[in-house]
Structure 1
Amino acid sequence: MARRRKKPGLPREAQLLLGLLLVAAAVVGWYFQQGPQAPGPQPPTPTVTADAVRIATWNLKHFALRPGLQLATVASIIHDGGFDIVAIQEVKKEGEAVDRLLNTLGPPWRATSFSPMTGNYERFVFIYRGDRVAETAKPRFVQDPEAGVFDRTPYLAGFRCGNFDFLLLSVHLSYTDVARRQAEARALARIAARLVAASVEKDLIVVGDFNEEKRRNFLSDFDAMRWSRLIGQGTNLSGRETYDNILIDRKFTGEYAGKAGVVKFDETRFDNDDKSAAEQVSDHRPAWADFAANQPDDD
């Protein structure tokens, strides 16, 4: 009896390819049968409302890509604080740490141009939420006959959020040279007065690290001009000194919403371990204040 001849089949390589195509088709079909996937966990909603802008100031200790720095923690503090704009002092080198911080924060965060290098090899910069805040004036060192008094020349920029347009003047007064700090504080008050007098925009907010100590009232000239210090809590990690502040002239800046504070990250995130808090984040706490963004423009 003759043996039946086998019908010719597909080559082995073709069989493998066909099998892979069938498996892929099955997987794609299963995926589309599942429908839209549920979104992942959403970040917590900041406490600031859409009708207000939260302005913060933060001296980020020796802010460079240094050992120990935890940019994820810095970004988390900014996010959880509900900040819309942050004036940052003590930026080092070319600002690489700020660029990395923006990458960590993600959209819509962006930065102004950095200031040129100033005293103690530092720079100033402002970072802000581009979906909430817009720049209205290119940042620059303050231009004033008394600007030479400062070791770190103050940095001025203009912004707008909703109906609220304002100028931010970021400062970092001398710490080690007490006499110079006093001279800088007094010159700063006169410069602020001249800026308001000369500008169409009267909403000038002076922010930063004034290194103000309780035993020395070097900001008394601002008090004499009836400006308000919005921060009353301690901004160093011990909580004993309010080095950092936000100053406004209520006569012009009626948009202040009456709400300001300090983020005590050293307590909430580091259980009062000041050494770790300073190494991983900063030896200063961020300070913030809320301003109405939905009122008619008053200047």
Structure 2
Amino acid sequence: MAPTQNTVDENMQRSVSAPSTGATPAPEPSSLKAKQVKMSDLLALKGIPPPPPQPFVSLQQSRLDQIQAVFLAMYAPGIDKFLETRWYQEKARPQLLANVQLMAQYSGLIDAFDEPNVNDPTVSGRIESFEASVIWDTIRLCRSTNLSNGNAPPTQDPDLLTAVKRLEVFEALVTGEHLEANPLAPTSVQEPAAKSLTLPDQLQKRSSDFWNSIGYFLTLHDDEASSAKEIDDTLACARMLLDTCENRDVIYSIAIARHIGQRSADFPHSVPQPTITDEKDPGAKLYVAQRFLEQQASGKGTTQVIKRICGMVVRSWTVSRQ
């Protein structure tokens, strides 16, 4: 798996990623707790909402070809890289072509990229939000796929099921929701010993283990003191599985910001820079996670998907405190 190309504050990121040897401090009063939000609330990046849904129009073949080229070159690979799947590049194109509204959105976004005053902050902000909404609707294509074939049992497409479950985990993570059960928990089938796996299988297992740890984190309620150590241990486990993958750095940092940020009355507006060398300090973890995600959103992300997803995350911090 390709390592992340980001070199921003690598030493600091290692610091935020370091497992804590003690439990995170207990939550402050419940009035500080961030509220749960909807994904639709997070698409107005920097507070600038995307344009309303594009009207349905008959698209010329040249525009259809252009949409498919953009999807296959930019968004499908970016989403697959983020969710660590193959479904979007290999199987999602028919779902896109069948979605009239999303095709209209793609056409409108392509036109928006050609606007002459794109450097105007208001215009660029609106385009970023527009792109975020298109990316989110594209990610959700996995949910609109008909898993059933008549009266036959649901099609067990491993890539599709992985995409659906990881999307569920990501959405819960970024909206502040807790899950009753971990959709990515390993099956009861005994897995072979790691040493007997090929290298690709080992890498795949580490990917699955990382996502499983994030899914399990979302079943733990961090307003319960009895869960504090289990949460810290779970996040430490996720940290050990980052493997320099950009998407995992992002997801792990979201979890850190979610878990520790709600304990800070000033988050996200005024988080003082702590002593970065103190790897046990929750404030250091929060500071670096926040800065990392903000920089990813501002252009450091290596794909448009990462940039816009991080923009949604940054937006969530403000919306959840309103």
Q: When the two structures are superposed, what TM-score results if normalisation uses the length of structure 2?
A: 0.28
Higher CA-based Rg: 1
Flag the structure with higher helix content: 2
